[in-house]
Structures are given as structure tokens and as C-alpha cells.
Structure 1
Amino acid sequence: MSLPVARIAPVAAALTGAVTLPGSKSVTNRALLVAALARGTSTLTGILRSDDTRYMMAALRAMGVRIEEVDDTTVRVTGTGTLDVPAEPLFIGNAGTAMRFLTAAVALVRGRVILTGDEHMQKRPIAPLLETLRAMGVDAASPTGCPPVTVNGTGHFDAGEIEVSGTLSSQYISAIMMLAAMGDAPTRIRIGGGKIGAVGYLQITAAVMRAFGVRVDFPSEAEITIQPTGYTAADYAIEPDASAATYLWAAEALTGGRIDIGTAPKNMNQPDAHAHALIAAFPNMPAEIYGAQMQDAIPTLAVLAAFNKTPVRFTGIENLRVKECDRIAAVHQGLTRIDPDLSSVEGDDLIVHARPDLAGQTRDCLIDSHADHRIAMSFALAALRINGVTIEDPDCVSKTFPAYWDVLGDLGVQVEITR
């Protein structure tokens, strides 16, 4: 059975207009979990409605959390400070944040919890998080090192000194941070290697935790301390998604347009907002871009770099190999389908060999999205300048930006989806 495809016609004019961005997926799933662990009712505004957040809400409801959907971007979350044993395994689809955050959080359940996901999730590593949880006295296991995961919760875990590798995904560390606030003693997380990698993502976690009454400190580049206060119900506004904004910023750059997203990059706390300065430099992007602090923006930047004046090497992106797919391989594959010499990979570095002359050419090629929303959305940008680029499985954008194709259409892009 063939997958749907999206055919995007190159644009002849600058893209202009106004767009309402979806809420941040990263912030929404953190806020949903923290509000669920709080005692009382919290109102979350500006939330993202997508596959990932629906999986998170369904899992929380299955553990006794009441979530009232007020409107398209607002929910009321009522928690008791505890989580109940779910009647069935928690199915998380391919929602990485939900899987990692909940794997830690269900240590608070008094009983067995199984967390599983779709075929893609069952290939995503989670063993390092399980090792850390076991070091905290939590009975957590996975036969394959990937989901399904079984946690035999006792409602308790060992706080105190916890050491984790600085090479760990920031989502693993965020999961431990949010759990630590529910302990019976302060927790100090020490980062092996002397420095936190993607610290910007951990600052997002800390900001959400602080909004719900928890004291979180970063006393050094290698330490995080969390006080065991538990969470206090609060009203919380979720900012627009900076990762989603990168596609519109890049569309502006590629077409010489102007798209109003209603907020300035400087007002966004998410690490991917830093990509704006690099996009604004187009077509003179720097020769090397260190991507550890803006990982979800790398596919956008890599596709944009294809039209840059000079080649761009992307470094610090090794964690992209364990996202919804191996994004280093997927971006490389997509670029080389456009032109065999457009990209190369050296270790975990991705090199994009700039070809500004590709603009206006016809290159009939099918881009395999690997069911990854970021691959589909970023390669749609290439189609704005190159005729013949087709995106496979365009519906995967529902993971974080369900209205993406409609948004492009409203800006004047001709998008034809064949199912």
C-alpha cells in the first residue's frame, strides 16, 4: 500500500502574510506532566494540539489525572500529587518526550506500568534513562534497550547524588529533573564529562518547574540541584513553537518574503529560536554550525544551506541519530536525492555542499520523510525553489504542526496531497 505524497509547486513571488504558530511541543508536554503531578487545578493556555500531546494527555488520564479541554488551545488539569496504576499498557505512539518523561514519572505509581509505542518508537533507545532510574532504586527494564519498558513503581525513589553522562539526551535529564521534585530529599544531578550538552532544553524544563513552585538551580556547568517541594497548581501560558517558526523564517529567506508569526525570536526561550540569526545570514551562512543547542532546527538549516553561497558543516548533532528517525541519515538521503553531490557525512558531521544554482531547476525526486515530521516540513522548503520535489507521507506533520500544509497554502504555496 503506497503512502500519501505532497507535491509542492515552486513559488514565483515572495511569501508574505501572517501565521499563528502552534504552541511549543516541548513546553506543552512538560507543562502537562508537571500540572498532572501538582495538587489542585492548573490552567494551561496556548497548548499544542498534536499527536505527541494527545498521547501525553491520554496516558495521564489513564493514570487518574483529570484533563478538561476548554478550547483548542486551553486545558484544565486537575491532579492529586499521585499517579494511579493504569488498567492497560500506556501507548505513546512515537512521542519521544512523552515516552521519556513518563518512564521516569511512573516511578511514582504503586504498581506495574508498561509503556510502549509504535514501530518507530520501538527502535528508539531508552536504556541510558533506565540505567539512571535503576541507580535511583527504581525497578525499570526493557529487554531490547528500547520500548516497551516495564516499571514496577513503589511511589518512591532514591534522591541525593545522581551522576549522568553529559552525552545523554537532554530529554533523559529533563525526565529525572521533573521526577526529582517529587522526592523526599534534595537531588543533585552531576553531569559526567564536566559540562551539560544541550543546556537550553534543560532551562526550558527548569522554567516550567519553577512556574509550578519548584526551586531548580544550576550551580555550575556540571550540576543541577532540585528541591523536593512537589508541585503547586498554577496557571501557565505556553509560548509559540520556535521549531515550527524555523520553517517560516527559512521560507522568508528563500523567497525574499515577510511572514508575521506574532512574536520576535528574542521573546522565545526555546533553544531553536537561536536558529533565526543563522537563517537571517542566508545566503552567507557560516562555514560551520554547532547544532547541539538547536537540534530540531538542524533539518531546516541543512535544507536552507543547500542554497547557500558556500558549503556548511553541521557539528555537535550526534543526538539527531536517535530522534524520530536517524535525522543525519535522513537529511543526507533527501539532499542526495535532489543532487547526488549535495551532501556528505563524516562521522556524525553533516556537510551540505551549497548549490545555489539549483534554484529554478527541475529535479524529479521523492523525499522519504521516514514518518518524521521535521524531515517532511524541512524538505518542503526545497520544493519552494526546485521543481519536482515530492514529499512522502506528508500526514506525519500532525506530530507537531497539524496545519503546516494549510499554512503554506494560505501563504500562496500550491500544495497538492494525493492519498
Structure 2
Amino acid sequence: MTDPASALTIVPPEQPLVGRVVLPGSKSITNRMLLIAALAHGTSRLTGALKSDDTIHMAAALRQLGVAVEEPDATSFVVTATGELQPSDAPLFLGNAGTAMRFLTAAAATIRGTTVLDGDAHMRKRPIAPLVEALRRMGVAADAPTSCPPVTVAGTGLSGGRVVVDAGLSSQYVSALLIAAACAEAPVEIALAGGDIGARGYIDLTLAAMARFGGEVAPMGETGWRVEPTGYRAAEAMVEPDASAATYLWAAETLTGGKIDIGLSADRFSQPDAKAQALIAAYPQMPATIDGSQMQDAVPTLAVLAAFNAQPVRFTGIANLRVKECDRIRALATELNRIRPGLAEEQGDDLVIHGDPDLVGQTLPTSIETYADHRIAMAFALAGLKIAGIRILDPGCVAKTYPGYWDALASLGVRLLPDT
């Protein structure tokens, strides 16, 4: 299962899924800590970290910027840095790693030189203009002609001051500025335009990671922060398991009446997606309306689970899903309707799932297009636990954040039939 074929057909298990799965480390926390460690002076060690496409791109880019990043084992990074990133003659290629692109765009302002950041075809469709505009207001020469990558940043250091950023599309713009601001020459005040933010829980992850490496940030009301120019100190840090990955296993457990031990309970996670566990536990009586704004990466899991719910479910607060690795609202509606026409519909930026418990046990041969999006692939595998004939195209795209996903399902007794 380590190198899946061009497609995998999920065979519905005849028994509850029971077993233990070791979750990968959090992608969100790993990439935050990698960059902060690279901005720190000294040697930092990250344990329990994720090794996936997204974090590999971040580590490779940091090496280009003069940082020593070693990988002594499968879940550790050792980062040795001087506290200053160095210019790179070659562009930084970041694939479709959104966190790496946004965080490094802001960090490039601290580099005394020009940095070009680029990605694959999917990344070149992901908006970054609000972050570029915020950097310009801070006096940084930054340019993204298409409002998406590639981005060019002519860094001369951050001078400090106040900046207002539009975080309506992504909280990552705020996190990027927060992380870089600790390396400014003077305090930086960051405020939200209109007070709107995508997923505030991820800001909290950023603040916690900064504090672990000596960053000092004070809140300014509900929608602002003051970052002191402390720089960062090297540290040892443990990366929490990935809560978004946990949602697939919680849902698999619930759908099959099984018992899957992932090593810690939902209330032990600091990541916002862990809040999805309570909604998963409510199945097959999930609430009629679910606000997905603070658990955005869990929405694909919840949407596929809702297909079997006893009543329709409307997902609100999810407009940001249109600018993820793909338009996830459109993808979820399209692929659920491949399984059965009328199962889902888009209503503006809401997604309505017309749950039907009678789908359980049916044979509905369906090839699921995954749009090179790991979360679409992993979520629709759950449909295959209850419906025969679900075939996941491009299953290897899960390597973006959870390379061992198919192995984990197989270890629980799920049969996966690769195309031959």
C-alpha cells in the first residue's frame, strides 16, 4: 500500500474497524515550528513532526535560505540557524503547500535580498494578494502580478509599525505576519480589516508556537496583536498529532461501529479541527446546520459522513473552502452527486447534504475525482466503508499531509483493491 496505484477501490468491511493507529504529526504545527526554528539562533529539535509533501517543501526551502535542516529519524527535524535567513539565487519551489507559501512570503521580507516563491499549477491558482498588500503597507517591495503565486519579495528587513490585513480568505495571512514580525526592528501591530477571520483557532496555534521559541505577542482587543521585536530562541518542541487526520479515523470508527485507538482523546488536541469529534459522535443525528468556519479542514470528513445522516445537513461559514487545494465546496457537491444524483447541492457558499441512511449497503460503482486534493481523497474513502464500488482516483495525493493513510486503513482490516 505504500505506493498506491492510479486508483484504489474500497471494499466495505464486513466487521467493525478495531485497532490502533499512530497518527502523523500536525502539518500546521510542524510547518510553523520549522520556520520559527529557522528564524531562531541556535539548534532546535522538533520531535513527533510530520514528514509529508508540505513539510518537505518547507524544509527544502529553508535549506535554500541557508538553514541547516537535518532529519535524524522519521519524525524529527534538527534545525540549526543563525537567526537570519540568507538570500537564494534560485526560486523557492513550494509545490501546493499553502502554509509554506504564505509563511515564507512574509519571512522573505526579513531577508536582505530578492526572493522568488513559486509553486505548482494548483498553487498558482491560490490567492495571496491580501498578504502581499499588507507587506506593501509595511514598506516591503512585494509583487504577485496575478494575485496568486509566483511572488517576488525584495527584502530589506521589517521596520515595525502598524498594518491592517484582510484575513477573510485565510487566517494564514495573519499567521505569516505574526511569525515574521518577531524579527522586525521595532514592535509590529497587526489588525484585522473588518474584524473578519477565517479560522481563529489556527492563529492560536501560531501564537503558541511563537511563545515556545521566545516570541512575545500581546492581544489588542479581539482583532489585533502587538508583536515585540524579540527574535526567537532555539528550543526543543514536541509536535502534536494531526487533528485533521484524526477526523477520518473518528468517522471510520463511527460508520462501522468500531473502536480505533489513536492514542489521545479529542479534548487533548489544541488544533481546532478536533471540535469535529463531537459532531461525528452525533451521527446519525448530526445537527441540521453545522458552522464549519472554525474547523475548515474537517468539513470534507463531516460532509461525507452527512451523506448517511438521518436528516439533511447544511454547512455554513465555509466560503474559504473555495480557495483551498481545490474548490472543496464544488468538489464535495460534485463527487457526492456522482454517487447519487441529488445527494448534495451548493447554495451560494453553503453546502447542503441530503442525508440518506438507505445508501448504506448499496452497490453504486463510482470513480471519485480527487482534484489532487488529499482531503477529498481521504474523506471519500469513508463513503467506501458503507457503499460498494467506491473507487478513489489519484490516491497518492494523500502524501501531501498523510502519506500513511491507506496503510492505516489496511491495518484496520479495510481491503483496498488497486487498479491492475
* TM-score category (smaller protein): over 0.9
Distance 1:97 1:195 in 2: 19
Deviations 1:251-274 (A, max 9, x none): 011000010000111110000000
Deviations 1:324-368 (A, max 9, x none): 000001111110001111001111000000011001001111110
Distance 1:17 1:206 in 2: 35
Partner of 2:241: 240
Shift of 1:195: 4.9
Partner of 1:79: 81
The answer to whether 1:16 aligns with 2:18 is: yes
Distance 1:214 1:164 in 2: 20
Partner of 2:409: 408
Partner of 2:335: 334
What code does the residue aligned with 1:396 have?
Answer: C
**1:195–1:221 contact (8 Å) kept in structure 2:** no
What code does the residue aligned with 1:397 have?
Answer: V
Comparing 224-233 with 3-12, greater Cα deviation is found at: 3-12
**2:17–2:259 contact (8 Å) kept in structure 1:** yes
Partner of 1:103: 105
Aligned residues: 416
Partner of 1:31: 33
**1:42–1:76 contact (8 Å) kept in structure 2:** yes
Shift of 1:15: 0.3
Match of 1:57 among 56, 59, 73: 59
Distance 1:87 1:356 in 2: 57
Shift of 1:168: 3.7
The answer to whether 1:210 aligns with 2:223 is: no
Partner of 1:189: 190
Give the SS at the match of 1:71: coil
What code does the residue aligned with 1:19 have?
Answer: V
Distance 2:161 2:185 in 1: 9
What code does the residue aligned with 2:57 have?
Answer: Y
What code does the residue aligned with 2:141 have?
Answer: D
Distance 1:168 1:81 in 2: 30
**2:289–2:314 contact (8 Å) kept in structure 1:** yes
Q: How do 1:240-319 and structure 2 match up within 5 A?
A: 240-319=241-320
What code does the residue aligned with 1:81 have?
Answer: G
Deviations 1:119-145 (A, max 9, x none): 111111111111111111111111211
What code does the residue aligned with 2:370 have?
Answer: S
Shift of 1:216: 1.7
Taking only aligned residues, the RMSD between alpha carbons, in angstroms, comes to 1.1
**2:198–2:320 contact (8 Å) kept in structure 1:** no
Shift of 1:34: 0.1
**2:95–2:123 contact (8 Å) kept in structure 1:** yes
Shift of 1:12: 1.2
Distance 1:157 1:7 in 2: 51
What code does the residue aligned with 1:5 have?
Answer: A
Shift of 1:313: 0.4
Shift of 1:166: 4.5
Distance 1:302 1:21 in 2: 22
What code does the residue aligned with 1:194 have?
Answer: G
Distance 2:164 2:419 in 1: 50
**1:166–1:193 contact (8 Å) kept in structure 2:** no
What code does the residue aligned with 1:283 have?
Answer: P
Shift of 1:118: 0.7
| Structure 1 segments (4+ residues) deviating >6 Å | none
**1:35–1:79 contact (8 Å) kept in structure 2:** yes
**1:196–1:221 contact (8 Å) kept in structure 2:** no
Partner of 1:362: 363
The answer to whether 1:139 aligns with 2:135 is: no
What code does the residue aligned with 1:203 have?
Answer: D
Distance 1:87 1:157 in 2: 21
What code does the residue aligned with 1:44 have?
Answer: L
Q: How do 1:154-169 and structure 2 match up within 5 A?
A: 154=156, 156-169=157-170
Identity %: 59
What code does the residue aligned with 1:17 have?
Answer: G
What code does the residue aligned with 2:119 have?
Answer: G
Shift of 1:109: 1.3
Gapped regions of structure 1 (runs ≥ 5): none
Partner of 1:178: 179
Partner of 2:150: 148
Q: How do 1:334-353 and structure 2 match up within 5 A?
A: 334-353=335-354
What code does the residue aligned with 1:107 have?
Answer: A
- TM-score relative to the length of structure 2: 0.97
Shift of 1:418: 2.6
Distance 2:401 2:191 in 1: 32
Partner of 1:397: 398
- TM-score relative to the length of structure 1: 0.98
